[in-house]
Amino acid sequence: MMLAHLERDRSKFTALDTVRRPRVFRAVLITLLIGIVITVLFLIYVPWVQTTAGRGVVTTLNPNERQQELNALVEGRIDEWFVEDGDRVKRGDPIVRIADIDRNLVDRLEAERAQVEVQLQSAKNALATAQIDLRRMRELFEAGLTARRDYEQAQIRVEEMRGRVAEAQGSLARSETNLARQSEQLVTAPRDGFIQSINAGDAATFVRAGQVLATFVPEAQTRVVEVFVDGRDVSLIQSGEEARIEFEGWPAVQFSGWPSVAIGTFPGIVASVDQVAQPDGRFRVLIAEDPKAEQKWPEERYARFGTLVRAWILLETVPVGFEIWRQLNNFPPELPSSATTSGQSSASLISANGTGA
């Protein structure tokens, strides 16, 4: 009854008819609905390449091409430096000469060797004479013209001379060894490279055998990137996986999920993955340059050894929504389809074996 009465008197309330919903609200509502739909479709259908990132440096696989230390081979004092910091050297070029504290040591060693050689020759001559006497005593003894004692004394004499010859040969070997060690006082470059730094003092500085004299960096032929990744992701990294590398000082814009639109990064291939973790729990991964890629790494002068790098190892392709959910829950990346298939096959085999048992 009351509703009918209000409906009959509605013409008297004109303010209600003048109120209209603003069009902007409708536009905002439609925009929000379209945005929600687009976002849902984006999260479901847009692909995202999962990556595991790591930081490291440029290094090399060949240990002969890594930074090395040149050590003193003998004890002595530094006589002369032939290089300075930053000098480029060839294999066999002299680096430093070390002189013995006794300047006349080499001359005395040569004189000692000459004396031993004379003693050796004298012992050989005495041995030859003793062998001649032994043959003569054997003939006389067989003819009955001399006593057995004289024959035996001749045999003993020959053995004594042989012992003297052996002793002289040992003395000569020791003399040559000492002389050879002193001749190694000239330290030379093991291969082509350059001198990073000189770590010993100037002339007249005393050094001991094994002391570091200089730091030497060879000219490397092959560069690799050494990065360290989280142990949570290392089980999913295999040799041959693709990677993108950003070198320090090289302008780059990296989209980890869309490597195709990255700018300033370079392709790489995983060469090896360590089997044992580092003390901090991370694993070392070596990434080499992809020989099949058209884009080559920067020249060595732009990416030298020790240059800091950041690498993204490319894993599986998943929807963007899944990747966001994984990151929020701190889950590891998606297992490769081949690994999943292998795991299912192994599980089926184990189950079959268990049933058969």
For residue 335, what is the enclosing H or E element?
none
In the structure, what pLDDT confidence band is assigned to residue 74 with cuts at 50, 70 and 90? Answer: confident
268-283 tens-digit pLDDT: 999 888 888 888 888 9
Multiple choice CATH, 48-64+220-335, 1.10.3720.10, 2.60.120.310, 2.40.30.170, 3.40.50.1860: 2.40.30.170
Q: Name every residue whose Cβ is closer than 8 Å to that of residue 78 and which is 6 or more positions away in sequence.
A: 96, 97, 98, 99, 200, 201, 202, 203, 204, 205, 207, 213
Is the confidence at residue 354, as pLDDT, over 70?
no
Contact 61, 220 (CB under 8 A): no
Multiple choice CATH, 101-184, 1.20.120, 1.10.10, 3.40.50, 1.10.287: 1.10.287
Average pLDDT over residues 185-211: 80
Q: Where are the domains of the chain?
A: 48-64+220-335, 67-99+188-219, 101-184
Distance in angstroms (rounded) separating the CA atoms of residues 75 and 87: 25
Distance in angstroms (rounded) separating the CA atoms of residues 94 and 184: 11
User: Dihedral, CA atoms, 119, 122, 123, 127, nearest 10 degrees?
Assistant: 170
Distance in angstroms (rounded) separating the CA atoms of residues 55 and 285: 10
Q: What is the pLDDT of residue 221?
A: 67
Written as six digits, the tokens of 254 are 């990296």
Contact 229, 283 (CB under 8 A): yes
Q: Residue type for 37, please?
A: V
Distance in angstroms (rounded) separating the CA atoms of residues 282 and 260: 28
- Neighbouring C-beta atoms of residue 139, cutoff 10 Å: 12
* Fold matches, 48-64+220-335 and 67-99+188-219: no
Q: What is the pLDDT of residue 320?
A: 77
Written as six digits, the tokens of 166 are 């052996």
Q: Regarding the domain delimited by 67-99+188-219, which CATH topology (the fold level of the hierarchy) does it fall under?
A: OB fold (Dihydrolipoamide Acetyltransferase, E2P) (2.40.50)
In the structure, what pLDDT confidence band is assigned to residue 227 with cuts at 50, 70 and 90? Answer: very high
pTM, whole model, 2 decimals? Answer: 0.55
Q: Residue type for 205, please?
A: T
The partner residues of 225 in beta bridges, in order of sequence, read: 58, 287
Q: At which residue do the structure tokens 């006349």 appear?
A: 104
Beta-strand runs (E) in the chain: 47-59, 68-71, 76-81, 88-89, 94-99, 186-188, 193-198, 206-207, 212-218, 224-229, 242-247, 266-273, 283-289, 308-319
Looking only at the bridges linking them, the beta strands covering 242-247 and 186-188 are: unpaired
Contact 287, 224 (CB under 8 A): yes
Q: Name every residue whose Cβ is closer than 8 Å to that of residue 322 and which is 6 or more positions away in sequence.
A: 48, 334
Is the confidence at residue 130, as pLDDT, over 70?
yes
User: Dihedral, CA atoms, 131, 136, 137, 141, nearest 10 degrees?
Assistant: 140
Distance in angstroms (rounded) separating the CA atoms of residues 150 and 156: 10
Q: What is the pLDDT of residue 14?
A: 63
Nearest to 236 by CA among 123, 332, 351: 332
Is the confidence at residue 39, as pLDDT, over 60?
yes
The partner residues of 267 in beta bridges, in order of sequence, read: 244
Q: At which residue do the structure tokens 């090289």 appear?
A: 250
Q: What is the pLDDT of residue 341?
A: 43
Calculate the CA 256 to chain-centre distance.
26
To the nearest whole number, what is the mean pLDDT of the chain? 77
The partner residues of 226 in beta bridges, in order of sequence, read: 57, 286
Distance in angstroms (rounded) separating the CA atoms of residues 116 and 120: 6
The partner residues of 77 in beta bridges, in order of sequence, read: 99, 206
